[in-house]
Amino acid sequence: MTELRINLAERGSAIKPMNAINNGPMQGGVRKSYNNFDTYKALNIPYARNHDAAFFTGYGGEHTVDVHRIFKNFDADENDPASYIFEPTDKYVKTIYDAGTKVFYRLGASIEHDYKYGTRVPKDFAKWARICEHIIRHYNEGWANGFHYGIEYWEIWNEPECRNHDGSNPCWQGTDDEFLEFYGVVSHYLKKTFPNLKIGGPAFCNPWPHGDKDLKTRLLDSVAEGKAYMDFYSFHWYGCRIEDIIATYREGRQQLDRRGLTGVTTILNEWNYIRGWVGDQYNYSSKTMRNLKGSSFIAGIMCAGQHEPIDMLMYYDARPSVYNGLFAHETFECLKGYYPFAMFNALAQLGTHIPTEYVKDDIYSCAATDGENYAVMLTHFNDDDETPAKTLKLDIENSNAPVKVSCYVLDENHDLELFREEAYTSDKLSMYFDMPLFTSVLVKIEKL
């Protein structure tokens, strides 16, 4: 039996945005077909990063988000509104905001595994920065018949050090030296032009440097030396063991702190379950992303992130694709991975974190309160599919009784459905849960 004690009188920091995501909802379109706008909106997603949005025609397709898609002809006048195609991205951004979610805008290009177009080195770094300036002004200052969204986060590029198995780079066709110069020019220009916005990046594949010549090492050293600017350090992680992502949280923070960059926040803005990138392991991974195991993985990573030194998590992806564990591709029905976001939303609405022994015997937990009501999120995850079921004893102290306790389960047969509800008159209470592998439970404690 695993025993977990939670003292509801304890207080931690605010609940962090561990439930942010890549990409927004889909509306019904001209045929009023299936969509996920209402179910997406119900999750109260705090931020949606718009990377790879151009791959989905429902968002606007080939004309959407990417700098080279909005500004088609690099030789055109960047000061002329006629040089820009904003309309598809306007519609997409509005849909995200209509769902109650803020946009996290990635400046750059979607990944290009085959023909390279947007990931080529810009001919003029300063002009590219000025183009981005006008994109920002369009969405924040009304330029070119634009808007006043107040988009706060602007990320420069995506995975500049990425490598495929054949050694090719699908995200940056230049050298490391060229990227360092590029990032330095663009980051300084945008921060000087918009001092109140958060400028950062560059969405590295992971935060782990490999020696002094590694691009990650050189870029962070460049920031520390004042040659480049960074409000936030963004990076990615794909794997299958939650203990590995915990190490990644810590590594990202350490890379900054050891350089004196303590004010730079860390954002893991792509993550998902991957056991392997090719063959049978990738096929297994793609199925896992959309099943109960994938949902438990999501829940465990959110719980760990709340306790560890990471400032934001952004799941990849809500865009219709193999990586979307929330919504079915064509019908947009909710998959198992939808429900951990609903669970974490319950905590986020309460607002204040209650520290727990967040991982114990493969049981991951997170708790929150608004001072009067409480919620506890639990999941049983281990990547070994043969891991036996566990019995969990949950001991609650200082429940502010009398209270009503409602328990909801996410398993193969239930989609976060109520399975237990009872009243307690004691400030101390104990509950027992059968926790087969990949089962998740949400416990709500409400003042009577």
Q: Is 36 a member of any domain?
A: yes
Same domain, 296 and 396: no
**Pairing assessment for the beta strands 20-22 and 2-7 based on DSSP bridges:** unpaired
The CATH number of residue 378's host domain is 2.60.40.1500
Q: List, for residues 304-341, the tens digit of each pLDDT value.
A: 999 999 999 999 999 999 999 999 988 999 999 999 99
Map residue 134 onto helix, strand or coil.
Answer: helix
- 240 falls within a domain: yes
How does pLDDT run across 211-232, given as a tens digit for each residue? 788 999 999 999 999 999 999 9
CATH number for 227: 3.20.20.80
Burial letters 133-152, b for 16+ CB under 10 A, else e: bbbbebbbeebbebbebebe
Same domain, 293 and 197: yes
5 part of a folded domain: no
403-411 vs 440-447, strand pairing mode: antiparallel
Is 281 in the same domain as 359?
A: no
Give the C-alpha separation, 292 to 284, whole Å: 13
Q: Could you tell me if 361 and 234 lie in one domain?
A: no
- 265 and 179 co-located in one domain: yes
With a cut of 80, say whether residue 30 has pLDDT above it.
no
Domain count, the chain: 2
Residues 190 and 292 in one domain: yes
Single-letter code of the amino acid located at 187: S
Tell me the per-residue pLDDT of 235-276, one tens digit each, with 9 for 90 and over: 999 999 999 999 999 999 999 999 999 999 999 999 999 999
**Alpha carbon of residue 104 to chain centroid:** 10
Strands 2-7 and 374-380 come out as: unpaired
Q: Which two tokens stand for residue 133?
A: 């300036």
pLDDT tier at 289, thresholds 50, 70, 90: very high
